[in-house]
């Protein structure tokens, strides 16, 4: 059961099918353009959408808004230093700001960044520095149905090949994303992280964690990895941070705050370069674009997020939803992680070719039937067509991500999602596809307009 009770509530919009049909037409079938008040259950992201605890709110009220050297900064700094062990910690307003400041200070044009999988803003911040992002997911990640517990791992053979290959001189950093959001929210084992750290040390390349979901990764390690079953998630997290040379953090996930992030690192020269850029572009080094209250709430959230009862319930609710979804006849990327379920829309809707966007079609139908908003991760996101709409490139899988906000929805909300999917799956052959009517040259899924086909 939930290890908390509800003290403050917010009504959620209840709409009719007709209203939702109208809304979909109005936004040209782009779910990003819906007004939040048209959405009953919002599973677009688990980022910045969590519920604050009473202790976090209280910490925020006690925030110190001094421009420099605030009490809030010192509390935040102490919490992050204890958790990560890094010698230098800089606050940023969110994860992508940490990425920009770190990469701009660390990379040179032409550098290569290796990762288990780059998140899309991480890749964008590498490419904006005229550098190259290479993903090295482990082979098990390719089989969506396999229940291997650590499908977020990096491919160690490939990592070794890259670190000793012809481009080795250009490799500036290895990033390990825990959990691997771009790879189905799958965790990374401590064994894999240790071997990665050893390879990085051997070849003199720094290792950074993209630690947005470090606590969820640690929880899955305590469940599934030999040698870690009697450890607490906090102990696992502390060890993981100490295996790397630094981290980038979006605290909007496992900081359980609405805004916030940080960079941690041990290299003093790199820290100095980051600090100067931070001051010029984010804010002074003791607030990094945040209010004092944000720093206090982040410090409190970072302490709450590794509580075993909280993580156990989060895993349980994800497993509950996974069970409902499978029983509805919809396959997911197995095994279910903690922050999201990824529905296999391609398999549910075999009558729709990739360039009719089965993932998007399922996401739109979920909104129409149940007022549920989700995100397509398929050929609308990764594909490409010529001017006549003929496919040039399609995504490897047609998925829909149901992201689970922290401490927000109850089991009856999740049951509603299961029921909605069951209804859709029974008449899956009636789900129609889409064609793009307008799109932007990059990140098209955010701004594209579509029409049914």
Q: Which residues bind ligand F0G (CB under 6 A)?
A: 45, 47, 94-96, 119, 121-122, 177, 181, 210, 212, 250, 252, 261, 403
Nearest to 340 by CA among 209, 225, 187: 187
The residue nearest ligand F0G at its CB is 95
Give min distance, CB of 352 to ligand F0G, in A: 24
CA distance to 87, 188, 299, 328, per residue, from 294 (Å): 22, 29, 9, 41
Give min distance, CB of 403 to ligand F0G, in A: 6
Runs of H (alpha helix) within 371-436: 379-382, 411-426
Contact between 405 and 50 (Cβ < 8 Å) = yes
DSSP for 416-434 reads HHHHHHHHHHHTGGG---E
Give min distance, CB of 128 to ligand F0G, in A: 14
Q: Token digits for 171? A: 């490799």
- 67 catalytically annotated: yes
Contact between 338 and 34 (Cβ < 8 Å) = no
Catalytic residue, from 42, 46, 155, 210: name it: 210
Using alpha carbons only, what angle is made at residue 110 by residues 135 and 276, rounded to the nearest 5 degrees?
A: 100
Catalytic residue, from 29, 103, 119, 357: name it: 119
Give min distance, CB of 21 to ligand F0G, in A: 27
Runs of H (alpha helix) within 129-281: 156-164, 190-203, 214-224, 233-243, 268-281
Catalytic residue, from 33, 64, 74, 120: name it: 120
- 214 catalytically annotated: no
- 381 catalytically annotated: no
119 or 342: whose CB is closer to ligand F0G?
Answer: 119
- 271 catalytically annotated: no
43 or 349: whose CB is closer to ligand F0G?
Answer: 43
Q: Token digits for 51? A: 């519920």
Q: How far apart are CA 295 and CA 286, in angstroms?
A: 10
The residues near 1 (Cβ < 8 Å, ≥ 6 apart) are 313
**Residue entry with tokens 């047609």:** 398
Q: Token digits for 25? A: 């037409």
Contact between 228 and 191 (Cβ < 8 Å) = no
44 or 428: whose CB is closer to ligand F0G?
Answer: 44
Taken as a whole, the chain contains a residue count of: 453
Residue 199 CB: number of other CB atoms within 10 A? 19
- 357 catalytically annotated: no
Q: How far apart are CA 80 and CA 299, in angstroms?
A: 7
- 119 catalytically annotated: yes
210 or 225: whose CB is closer to ligand F0G?
Answer: 210
Give min distance, CB of 120 to ligand F0G, in A: 8
- 120 catalytically annotated: yes
92 or 420: whose CB is closer to ligand F0G?
Answer: 92
141 or 328: whose CB is closer to ligand F0G?
Answer: 141
119 burial (CB, 10 Å; 0-12 / 13-18 / 19+) is buried
374 or 428: whose CB is closer to ligand F0G?
Answer: 374
Nearest to 225 by CA among 235, 317, 309: 235
Give min distance, CB of 376 to ligand F0G, in A: 12
Catalytic residue, from 253, 339, 355, 356: name it: 253
The residues near 153 (Cβ < 8 Å, ≥ 6 apart) are 116, 137, 138, 140, 141, 188, 189, 192
119 or 150: whose CB is closer to ligand F0G?
Answer: 119
Sheet architecture: strand order including 375-377: 340-344, 399-403, 375-377
372 or 428: whose CB is closer to ligand F0G?
Answer: 372
User: Containing H/E element for 95?
Assistant: helix 95-106
Catalytic residue, from 212, 291, 318, 340: name it: 212
Q: Token digits for 373? A: 């908003």
User: Containing H/E element for 175?
Assistant: strand 171-177
Give min distance, CB of 387 to ligand F0G, in A: 31
Question: Active-site positions?
Answer: 67, 119-120, 210, 212, 253, 445
């Amino acid at each position: 059961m939930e290890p908390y009770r509800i003290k403050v509530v917010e009504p959620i919009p209840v709409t009719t099918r007709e209203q939702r049909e109208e809304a979909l037409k109005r936004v040209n079938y782009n779910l990003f353009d819906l007004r939040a008040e048209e959405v009953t259950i919002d599973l677009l992201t688990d980022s910045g959408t969590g519920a604050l605890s009473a202790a976090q709110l209280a910490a925020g009220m006690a925030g110190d808004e001094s421009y420099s050297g605030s009490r809030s900064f010192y509390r935040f700094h102490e919490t992050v230093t204890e958790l990560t062990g890094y010698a230098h910690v800089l606050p940023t307003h969110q994860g992508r700001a940490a990425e920009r400041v770190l990469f701009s200070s660390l990379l040179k044009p032409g550098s290569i960044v290796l990762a288990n999988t780059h998140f899309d803003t991480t890749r964008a911040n590498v490419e904006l520095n005229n550098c190259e992002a290479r993903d090295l997911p482990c082979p098990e990640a390719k089989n969506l149905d396999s229940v291997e517990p650590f499908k977020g791992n990096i491919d160690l053979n490939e990592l070794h090949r890259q670190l000793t290959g012809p481009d080795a001189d250009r490799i500036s950093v290895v990033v390990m994303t825990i959990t691997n959001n771009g790879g189905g929210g799958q965790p990374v084992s401590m064994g894999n992280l240790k071997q990665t750290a050893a390879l990085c040390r051997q070849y003199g390349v720094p290792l950074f964690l993209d630690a947005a979901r470090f606590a969820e990764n640690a929880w899955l390690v305590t469940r599934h990895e030999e040698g870690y079953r009697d450890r607490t998630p906090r102990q696992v997290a502390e060890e993981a941070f100490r295996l790397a040379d630094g981290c980038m953090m979006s605290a909007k996930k496992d900081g359980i705050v609405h805004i916030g992030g940080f960079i941690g690192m041990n290299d003093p020269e790199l820290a100095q370069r980051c600090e100067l850029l931070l001051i010029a572009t984010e804010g002074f080094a003791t607030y990094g674009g945040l209010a004092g209250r944000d720093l206090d709430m982040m410090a409190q959230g970072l302490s709450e997020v590794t509580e075993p009862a909280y993580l156990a319930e989060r895993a349980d609710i994800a497993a509950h939803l996974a069970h409902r979804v499978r029983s509805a006849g919809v396959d997911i990327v197995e095994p279910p992680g903690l922050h999201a379920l990824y529905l296999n829309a391609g398999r549910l809707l075999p009558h729709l070719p990739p360039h009719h966007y089965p993932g998007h079609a399922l996401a739109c139908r979920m909104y129409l039937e149940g007022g549920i908003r989700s995100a397509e991760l398929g050929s609308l996101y990764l594909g490409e067509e010529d001017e006549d709409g003929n496919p040039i490139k399609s995504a490897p899988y047609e998925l829909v991500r149901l992201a689970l906000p922290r401490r927000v929805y109850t089991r009856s909300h999740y049951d509603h999602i299961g029921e909605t999917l069951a209804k859709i799956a029974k008449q899956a052959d009636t789900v129609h596809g889409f064609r793009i009517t307008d799109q932007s040259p990059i990140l098209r899924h955010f701004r594209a307009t579509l029409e049914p086909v």
